[in-house]
């Protein structure tokens, strides 16, 4: 049995690989041999292989030497790096490259469009993307190699301050896009030139030397500058100018920028500011009225700081000052003509000559005492005549007035009689205050009406309750002070004082229909006949049924107290139905007997029915007032006449 088992094994050992491959095998033999064939690579033994005629004569050490020699023929490469490659062949679609690796790499022919003269044997830089992809191929990229190399050159340019030649591809917002080494960089408009550039399109499609000033790898952003190259060229010229700079020196420059406050002038690498006030002796609102960009101008150096970084320039100083041309005949009191060039809250400026102006203060525009806005009656461009009030040729200052062209209303001869005490006038309300209101009787003549002189009957807390600004109001002159230009006026004085009459009507105990218009903790305010107001305490508001009088009710009230001086009337409803429980009238001197109740009826009848007596009383008071006014006017006229006679003497 042992011999039978060994026989097949011996046959298998003696069979050569070629014989085994040529011998026909049955399905059973194939099934039995397959598992053994799969295990052979794992159990392969060189020593055993050599005894059968393969590798005969090579020792283990020799084999190691041969393996080492083979490995030395291959390059050690790493992914994501650039390496030199040799062109092996060029096809329509691909270029085969050898990098000394165990396999060659393929690169798309489209990546070599910029090298039409490419030939076999040329060496180029490529980027190793993968040592072996899913197909077992080496993956290379020339495009990525160019990008990596470009960023290395850009970083080197920044580190070593190198000048790089770029190509302006297109214009973008705020600047230009410049191609450097195949990478798009941004050239800000402010970094194109030392002077502002207004047309960026002239640089598109042209080569330009630049320097890298900033790199942002996170955004793949590169910022370059052409201005820094120009600045270096101008440094020497700038140093020469600053070294010889002196006040009063006249230089030629070019206007490079304009603002609302002035213009910046390039003096040849050095900028100076020409302020708007130093452009012309006359007033201008914007530099563009007389100057333009890129214009060559002559300027004089007015001032500069110690470091000579700020240079102040002037242009008007190159011409004669217009004040020197002002006629010598112009003096205080002279009348001059000009044009309004500026209007402010405090006044207006009248230009007599370009550069010669005078201020018309708002107080010198009108004899009126009220402050007004000059823009209400003066506008820029108006041609006006004015009177010279002050003149200082050395300081070149002048103040003017317009109101002096007309007579001062307070100095008129008839002002004493026209506005005598007791005379009546109609004026316009110009201003309201807490204590009264100001009325303009004519331009320059104003008077004050105190709040207490507005009404005999109404208690006015603020003039706005009675009138508003712009209303016309009749008044009477109460006081006249010509020296201090003051008038005291009154409105209620146009009528007789009704409280003299009311004293005979609202006698204590008299009964009147009254309406409650408001209530508070202390009592109520009542509306009485003739537009008067009265008051009643809470104890005087109790009705006959015990309830209290409410707002809006109209009932009979009797007079408890009347005060003409205080203009106060105290009323009581309780006295009507329960005189004993209510507040009693203030005690008076006895008049000879008789109960108070017996006198109430005739007093009430006289108050409400005797209208003829009231009319007669009113007429008598008006007549007395008229006579008093005529007497005052005659005395004022006589006094004025005496003053004129003494003045003539």
CA 142 to CA 107: how far, in whole Å?
A: 7
State how far the alpha carbon of 292 is from the alpha carbons of 37, 161, 220, 259, 313, in Å. Answer: 97, 37, 41, 11, 16
Decide: 435 and 451 in contact? Cβ < 8 Å: yes
In the chain, the largest separation of any two C-alpha atoms, in whole Å, equals 183
Q: Which of 540, 569, 566 is nearest to 555 (CA)?
A: 540
- Do residue 579 and residue 512 come from a single domain? yes
Q: Which of 528, 456, 531, 468 is nearest to 494 (CA)?
A: 456
Does 424 map to a domain?
Answer: yes
Match 């706005």 to its residue by tokens: 464
Does 502 map to a domain?
Answer: yes
- Do residue 30 and residue 46 come from a single domain? yes
Cβ neighbours of 604 (radius 10 Å): 18
- Dihedral (CA of 283, 288, 290, 295) sign: positive
- Do residue 531 and residue 604 come from a single domain? yes
Q: Residue 515: what pLDDT? A: 92
- Do residue 523 and residue 576 come from a single domain? yes
Does 119 map to a domain?
Answer: yes
CA 533 to CA 553: how far, in whole Å?
A: 15
Match 């022919």 to its residue by tokens: 109
CA 222 to CA 212: how far, in whole Å?
A: 7
- Do residue 604 and residue 532 come from a single domain? yes
CA 200 to CA 186: how far, in whole Å?
A: 13
Q: Residue 182: what pLDDT? A: 83
Does 334 map to a domain?
Answer: yes
CATH number for 523:
2.40.50.140
Buried b (16+ CB within 10 A) or exposed e, 193-216: ebbebeebeebeeeebebbbbebe
End position of a domain, from candidates 123, 146, 169: 146
- Dihedral (CA of 39, 44, 49, 54) sign: positive
- Residue 593 token pair: 């007997």
Q: Which domain holds residue 581?
A: 498-585+600-613
- Residue 233 token pair: 């060229």
- Do residue 542 and residue 444 come from a single domain? no
Q: Are strands 486-490 and 511-519 parallel, antiparallel or unpaired?
A: unpaired
- Do residue 399 and residue 436 come from a single domain? no
The number of domains in the chain is: 6
CA 375 to CA 342: how far, in whole Å?
A: 10
End position of a domain, from candidates 43, 73, 103: 73
- Dihedral (CA of 588, 593, 595, 599) sign: negative
- Do residue 486 and residue 512 come from a single domain? no
- Do residue 371 and residue 280 come from a single domain? no
Residue numbers in the chain where pLDDT is lower than 50: 1-40, 54, 73-74, 588-614, 616-617, 646-649
Does 367 map to a domain?
Answer: yes
- Do residue 487 and residue 521 come from a single domain? no
What is the number of helices (H) and of strands (E) in the chain?
12, 30
The secondary structure element, H or E, covering residue 187 is: strand 183-188
Does 635 map to a domain?
Answer: no
CA 500 to CA 457: how far, in whole Å?
A: 12
Decide: 206 and 197 in contact? Cβ < 8 Å: no
CA 197 to CA 187: how far, in whole Å?
A: 12
Does 172 map to a domain?
Answer: no
CA 126 to CA 133: how far, in whole Å?
A: 17
CA 88 to CA 267: how far, in whole Å?
A: 62
Decide: 544 and 575 in contact? Cβ < 8 Å: no
- Do residue 570 and residue 488 come from a single domain? no
Q: Which of 366, 375, 389 is nearest to 342 (CA)?
A: 375
CA 130 to CA 81: how far, in whole Å?
A: 10
- Do residue 90 and residue 68 come from a single domain? no
**This prediction's pTM:** 0.41
The three-state DSSP-derived secondary structure of 557-607 is: EEEEEEECCCCEEEEECHHHHCCCCCCCCCCCCCCCCCCHHHHHHHHHHHH
CA 328 to CA 334: how far, in whole Å?
A: 11
- HSE on the CB side for 63, CA within 13 Å? 10
Contacts of 254 (CB under 8 A, 6+ apart): 195, 265, 266, 294, 295, 296, 297
End position of a domain, from candidates 105, 126, 146: 146
End-to-end CA distance of the chain: 183
- HSE on the CB side for 597, CA within 13 Å? 6
Q: Which of 201, 163, 203, 169 is nearest to 185 (CA)?
A: 169
Q: Residue 449: what pLDDT? A: 92
Does 167 map to a domain?
Answer: no
Q: CA angle, corner 131, sides to 125 and 137, nearest 5?
A: 100
Q: Residue 460: what pLDDT? A: 84
Q: Residue 55: what pLDDT? A: 52
The secondary structure element, H or E, covering residue 239 is: helix 227-243
Decide: 437 and 475 in contact? Cβ < 8 Å: no
Beta strands in 408-444 (DSSP E): 424-432, 436-442
Q: CA angle, corner 289, sides to 288 and 292, nearest 5?
A: 40
Q: Residue 232: what pLDDT? A: 76
Decide: 571 and 560 in contact? Cβ < 8 Å: yes
């Amino acid at each position: 049995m042992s011999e039978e088992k060994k026989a097949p094994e011996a046959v298998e050992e003696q069979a050569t690989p070629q014989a085994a491959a040529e011998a026909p095998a049955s399905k059973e033999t194939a099934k039995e041999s397959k598992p053994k064939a799969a295990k052979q690579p794992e159990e392969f033994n060189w020593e055993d292989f050599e005894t059968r005629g393969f590798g005969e004569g090579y020792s283990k050490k020799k084999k190691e030497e041969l393996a080492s020699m083979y490995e030395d023929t291959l390059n050690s490469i790493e992914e994501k790096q650039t390496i030199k490659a040799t062109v092996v062949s060029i096809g329509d679609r691909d270029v085969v490259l050898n990098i000394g690796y165990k396999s060659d790499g393929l690169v798309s022919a489209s990546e070599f469009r910029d090298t039409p003269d490419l030939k076999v044997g040329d060496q180029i830089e490529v980027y190793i993307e993968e040592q072996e992809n899913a197909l077992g191929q080496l993956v290379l990229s020339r495009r990525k190699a160019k990008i990596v190399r470009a960023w290395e050159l850009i970083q080197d340019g920044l580190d070593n301050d190198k000048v790089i030649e770029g190509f302006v591809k297109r214009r973008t917002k705020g600047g230009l896009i410049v191609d450097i080494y195949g990478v798009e960089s941004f050239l800000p408009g402010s970094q194109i030139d030392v002077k502002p550039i207004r047309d960026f399109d002239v640089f598109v499609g042209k080569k330009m030397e630049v320097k890298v000033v900033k790199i942002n790898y996170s955004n793949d952003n590169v910022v370059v500058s052409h201005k820094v190259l120009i600045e270096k060229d101008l440094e020497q010229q700038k140093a020469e100018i600053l070294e010889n700079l002196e006040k009063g020196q006249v230089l030629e420059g070019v206007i490079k920028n304009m603002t609302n406050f002035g213009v910046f002038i390039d003096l040849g690498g050095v900028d100076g500011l020409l302020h708007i006030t130093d452009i012309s002796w006359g007033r201008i609102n914007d530099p563009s009225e007389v100057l333009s960009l890129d214009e060559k101008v002559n300027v004089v150096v007015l001032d500069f700081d110690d470091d000579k970084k700020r240079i102040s320039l002037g242009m008007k100083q190159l011409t004669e000052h217009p004040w020197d041309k002002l006629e010598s005949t112009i003096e205080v009191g002279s009348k001059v003509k000009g044009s309004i060039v500026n209007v402010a809250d405090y006044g207006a400026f009248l230009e007599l000559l370009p550069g010669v102006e005078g201020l018309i203060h708002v107080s010198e525009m009108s004899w009126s005492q009220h402050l007004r806005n000059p823009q209400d009656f003066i506008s820029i461009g108006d041609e006006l005549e004015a009177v010279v009030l002050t003149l200082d040729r050395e300081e070149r200052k002048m103040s003017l007035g317009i109101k002096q062209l007309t007579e001062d209303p307070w100095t008129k001869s008839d002002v004493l009689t026209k506005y005598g005490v007791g005379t009546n006038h109609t004026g316009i309300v110009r201003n309201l205050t807490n204590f009264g209101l100001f009325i303009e009787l004519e331009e320059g003549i104003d008077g004050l009406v105190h709040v207490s002189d507005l009404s005999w009957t109404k208690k006015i807390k603020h003039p706005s309750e009675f009138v508003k600004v712009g209303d016309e109001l009749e008044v009477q002159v109460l006081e006249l002070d010509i020296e201090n230009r003051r008038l005291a006026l009154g409105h209620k004085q146009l009528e007789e004082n009704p409280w003299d009459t009311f004293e005979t009507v609202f006698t204590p105990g008299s009964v009147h229909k009254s309406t409650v218009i408001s209530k508070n903790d202390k009592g109520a305010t009542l509306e009485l006949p003739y537009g008067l107001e009265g008051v009643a305490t809470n104890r005087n508001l109790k009705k006959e049924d015990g309830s209290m009088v409410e707002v809006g009710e109209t009932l009979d009230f009797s007079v408890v107290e009347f005060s003409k001086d205080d203009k106060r009337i105290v009323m009581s409803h309780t006295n009507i139905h329960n005189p004993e429980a209510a507040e009693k009238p203030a005690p008076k001197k006895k008049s000879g007997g008789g109960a108070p109740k017996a006198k109430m009826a005739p007093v009430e009848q006289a108050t409400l029915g005797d209208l003829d007596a009231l009319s007669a009383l009113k007429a008598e008071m008006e007549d007395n007032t008229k006579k008093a006014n005529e007497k005052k006017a005659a005395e004022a006229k006589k006094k004025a006449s005496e003053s004129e006679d003494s003045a003539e003497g």
